[in-house]
Amino acid sequence: MRTDTPQAVNLADYRPFPFAIETTRLVFDLHPTRTRVSAELSVRRTGGKNEPLVLNGERLKLVSIAIDGRPLAAGEYGVDAERLTIAEAPDAFVLTTEVEIDPSSNKALMGLYMSGGRFCTQCEAEGFRTITYFPDRPDVLSRYSVRIEADGKFPHLLSNGNPVASGSLDGGRHFAEWSDPFPKPSYLFALVAGDLDVLADKFITMSGREVALRVFVDPGQASRAAYALDSLKRAMKWDEEAFGREYDLDLFMIVAVRDFNFGAMENKGLNIFNSSLLLADPQTATDLDYERIEAVVAHEYFHNWTGNRITCRDWFQLCLKEGFTVFRDQGLSADMRGAAVQRIKDVRALRARQFAEDAGPLAHPVRPSSYLKIDNFYTATIYEKGAEIIRMLKAILGAPAFRKGCDLYFQRHDGEATTVEAFIACFAEASGRDLSGFFGWYEQAGTPSVTIETAYDAAAGALTLTLTQSTSPTPGQPDKKPLPIPIAIGLLAADGRVLRDTEIVLLDQAQMTVRWDSIPEPPVLSALRGFSAPVNLSTDARPSDRYVLFGSDTDLFNRWEAGQTLARDLILTRAAGAPDEVGEERYADALGRALVDDAAEPAFKALLLALPSEPDLALMFEAADPAALHAARDHLRTRIAVHLGDLLRRLHGEMQINGEFSSDAAAAGRRALRNACAEALSADPHAENLARLLGHFGAARNMTDMIGGLYPMVAMGGVPREKALESFHHAWRTEPLVLDKWFAVQGRDPNPDALERVIALTQHPDFEPTNPNRLRALVSTFANFNPARFHDPSGAGYAFLADEILKVDAFNPMTAARLVEPLGGWRRYKPELGDLMRAQLERIVAHPNLSKNVLELASKALG
Ligand code: PHE
Ligand code: ZN
């Protein structure tokens, strides 16, 4: 038994920090194994007379400490593994500390560490405390000035804010000084030092100020940063137009690093990116990479207002910056790439990640009230559901009142660390609406279920809708209350004509009825248009109604949704042992008609052609049997490939683009449809299709086509798989980002020997477990996206994942913890499997020296 039960942090215990840190002066003497950091904090008491000064600090070697220049005697302060305490601090003073740290041994990638021979930092959420002693909490805002000294081998010395001085020092060393005029919390501090190439540009803001833009990358990679730089300029412009937000410093920098736990980080004026979300060219990046780069560059830039200028009072308010900022980046993507297609992709991701989380033991409210490790709360719920809440707020208030609320928030809370309550209060005030019920969305976990029943009275020409909602219990929340749910509803006639335009019905009770008059004929209900709320909807629609929507709904989201629902029901029916052959034919026919609709964009058709994923299907199942789902889904794939073979081959040919590569949405849509056709045809691998697929892979001139061809080769197994993997590896062995794709495609390998091969790949010379991208490419892809092989009846897939979690936890707890989730759903699987999953969670929890990160998630998953 472990004796050191970790302490939970509770929202209810929030107390302001009893001191203000007005200015923070940091001097870094950089050295790979012995870096010296001296900090000069100007401290002023704001709380009670007897309050001690307690600073966070971990893994620091304290070299010296002084108050107002006077070194402290041993009895005047205390240091333990987590903090430095000065029991009797003056009311106003300057505290100077000097510490030594070892960046090169830091494989947790939090704090100051080395990546590719360069120094870089990651401080959110609690990494700053491994750099120096400081109140490492988001509500302590300070003005920073930074001096960096380093060997000439590290030519670029970067930190937040504006550069103020630089020059050379003795012994081949040099220095740079930076000053950030905007007070910020410690989690937004950043430093980078090393040999980098830079791509430079500028942006003129709406008030006419010139901002210098710089993207720093590995030497030789500058041309691959062009798309990110262009995305940045589009994001800056968009934020001015959509939200009236202008950039505030004279310089904006982005740096790409290969070793990074997350996607990217919004440090003030110096964003640091995982290189996978920054570098792109047609040869090495897929359209999906381009799409994500555009979104993440915007996301981090948007944080400058939603996160940096206005930050979080405490980490329970994380959704205040993350949910709002995801909402903002989704808005940009919709404007750049088409609203309907973007919405479908966002909802697909929401359901795959957030709905799964909300349905399992790790379910938590968008604003949680307790945690062990805040690192574990960078979840789909905080981010994606957080964004959905803002989207509903906009739907309920209407765009003008929503914008007024945003303006009020930016004006009232600029320069503050604030709360979700204060944010919502701005919208209530700007709109004059009572939003107290709406706040429940932040406090209540779980995905609401909504049902809509319709009754049509032909004689009266009236339609009555009965809407109900309920939410199942989640851990710690047995009883749920009704939430205000905006449900966008329209009506179609049986022949597809519009009978009634979209209207938002606000369902804010457990049950309500709505009566619509002047409906001249029996209507087909199109509900939850655009996925107007993050709920599970069920209606009394018959398949024939769904075919009407699938064929002609004006709401493209619901057109897609109808197709998915039809396919899902067919797969589930077959998996349950009662196949509906006639229904499958009918579905394939309707899909064929949708694919030849000239009015629909290729990107949309590609989405229509993708069947619901296996993890999504498993969510719909009690006691899920991944093998049965896989087989049933494959059956429908084959049926489509056979039934629509000619059409799919024709489209595959027509979508081919000859000539120069363009990364724009239209070209990407054509490639997406072509790849979707290839994927579909691989389900019927006769000689003609095989030749076509081999041709697709062999002739690929960009990474999108290449990966679109590689997966079907891998899925075929045998010689095509070996040959394709070998030639791909040979071509790309020196490109880390492309090698990640090589590992990932093998993580998704649907063949029966996939688990064995994945385990063998962990011994491959190119497998680097200390690099989170490489690790996730293989291990996380396998566990999350290859259910048929992960859920091997022997339990060997689960044991493999547990082994990897324990190995990685020894040096990188944050990344290890993010691998726990696939085991968390154990209750949803059939008991033979669920028991084996649980056994691995028990094994993890019993492991000595487990990190708090993994302990928290694994024990919650056990429930
Ligand atoms: N705040 C980052 C974002 O923009 C995410 C992040 C969290 C990155 C923690 C690194 C560490 O979403
Ligand atoms: Zn963010």
Closest ligand (CA of 324): 2
Across residues 671-681, what is the average pLDDT? 98
Residue 575 has a pLDDT of: 96
Check whether 704 has a pLDDT greater than 70. Answer: yes
Among 388, 330, 320, smallest CA distance to 354 is for 388
Check whether 562 has a pLDDT greater than 60. Answer: yes
Residue 1 has a pLDDT of: 39
Is 267 labeled as ligand-binding?
yes
The yes or no reply on domain 546-683 and CATH 1.25.50.10 is yes
How does 285-307 read in b/e, with b if 16+ C-beta sit within 10 Å?
bbbebbbbbbbbbbbbbbbbbbb
CATH, range 446-540: 2.60.40.1840
Across residues 282-306, what is the average pLDDT? 98
* Nearest CA residue ID for atom 9, ligand 1: 124
Check whether 323 has a pLDDT greater than 70. Answer: yes
* Nearest CA residue ID for atom 3, ligand 1: 265
Residue 622 has a pLDDT of: 81
Choose which residue among 124, 254, 272 to substitute to test ligand 1 binding: the one with the highest number of ligand atoms within 8 A of its C-beta.
124
Q: Residue 378 C-alpha to ligand 2 middle, in angstroms?
A: 9
* Nearest CA residue ID for atom 5, ligand 1: 265
Across residues 755-767, what is the average pLDDT? 98
Torsion, CA 833, CA 834, CA 835, CA 838, rounded to 10: 130
Residue 582 has a pLDDT of: 98
Residue 621 has a pLDDT of: 80
Q: Residue 585 C-alpha to ligand 1 middle, in angstroms?
A: 46
Q: Residue 262 C-alpha to ligand 1 middle, in angstroms?
A: 6
- Which segments of 102-190 are extended strands (E)? 111-115, 118-122, 142-151, 156-159, 162-168, 173-184
Q: Residue 322 C-alpha to ligand 2 middle, in angstroms?
A: 5
Check whether 741 has a pLDDT greater than 90. Answer: yes
Is 76 labeled as ligand-binding?
no
264 Cα nearest atom in ligand 1: 8
Is 594 labeled as ligand-binding?
no
825-856 pLDDT, tens digit each: 999 999 999 999 999 999 999 999 999 999 99
Q: Residue 616 C-alpha to ligand 2 middle, in angstroms?
A: 25
Q: Residue 273 C-alpha to ligand 2 middle, in angstroms?
A: 12
Check whether 3 has a pLDDT greater than 50. Answer: no
Is 503 labeled as ligand-binding?
no
636-646 pLDDT, tens digit each: 999 999 999 99
Within the chain, all domains assigned CATH 2.60.40.1840 are found at 446-540
- Residues paired with 55 in a beta bridge: 84
Closest ligand (CA of 124): 1
Residue 605 phi, psi dihedral angles, 5° rounding: -65, -35
Q: Residue 386 C-alpha to ligand 1 middle, in angstroms?
A: 15
- Residues paired with 79 in a beta bridge: 84
What's the CA gap between 681 and 711, in Å, rounded? 12
CATH, range 7-194: 2.60.40.1730
Residue 470, phi-psi category: left (phi > 0), alpha (psi -120 to 50), beta (remainder): beta
Other CB atoms within 10 Å distance of the CB of residue 660: 7
HSE value, Cβ hemisphere, 13 Å, CA-based, for 444: 21
248-261 pLDDT, tens digit each: 999 999 999 999 99
Q: Which tokens sit at 623?
A: 């006691």
127 Cα nearest atom in ligand 1: 11
Residue 4 has a pLDDT of: 59
Identify whether the C-beta of residue 741 lies closer than 8 Å to the C-beta of residue 707. Answer: yes
In the block, tokens 């073979």 appear at 645
Choose which residue among 378, 379, 382 to substitute to test ligand 1 binding: the one with the highest number of ligand atoms within 8 A of its C-beta.
378
Across residues 130-148, what is the average pLDDT? 99
Across residues 297-302, what is the average pLDDT? 99
> What share of the chain in percent tops pLDDT 70?
99
Whether this model's pTM surpasses 0.95 = yes
Is 126 labeled as ligand-binding?
no
Q: Residue 535 C-alpha to ligand 1 middle, in angstroms?
A: 26
Across residues 671-686, what is the average pLDDT? 97
Check whether 2 has a pLDDT greater than 50. Answer: no
Is 124 labeled as ligand-binding?
yes
Residue 620 has a pLDDT of: 86
3-state helix/strand/coil string of 208-248: CCEEEEEEEECCCCHHHHHHHHHHHHHHHHHHHHHHCCCCC
Is 336 labeled as ligand-binding?
no
- Residues involved in catalysis: 300
Residue 807 has a pLDDT of: 98
307 Cα nearest atom in ligand 1: 1
Within the chain, all domains assigned CATH 1.25.50.10 are found at 546-683
Choose which residue among 123, 128, 265, 815 to substitute to test ligand 1 binding: the one with the highest number of ligand atoms within 8 A of its C-beta.
265
What's the CA gap between 755 and 763, in Å, rounded? 13
Across residues 434-462, what is the average pLDDT? 98
Mean pLDDT (the chain) is 97
Report which residue type is found at 380.
Answer: A
ipTM: 0.99
Within the chain, all domains assigned CATH 2.60.40.1730 are found at 7-194
Residues sharing a CB contact under 8 Å with residue 719, sequence separation 6 or more, in sequence order: none
Measuring from each residue's beta carbon to the nearest atom of ligand 1, which residues come in under 6 Å?
122, 124, 261-262, 264-266, 299-300, 303, 322, 378
CATH class for domain 309-441?
mainly alpha
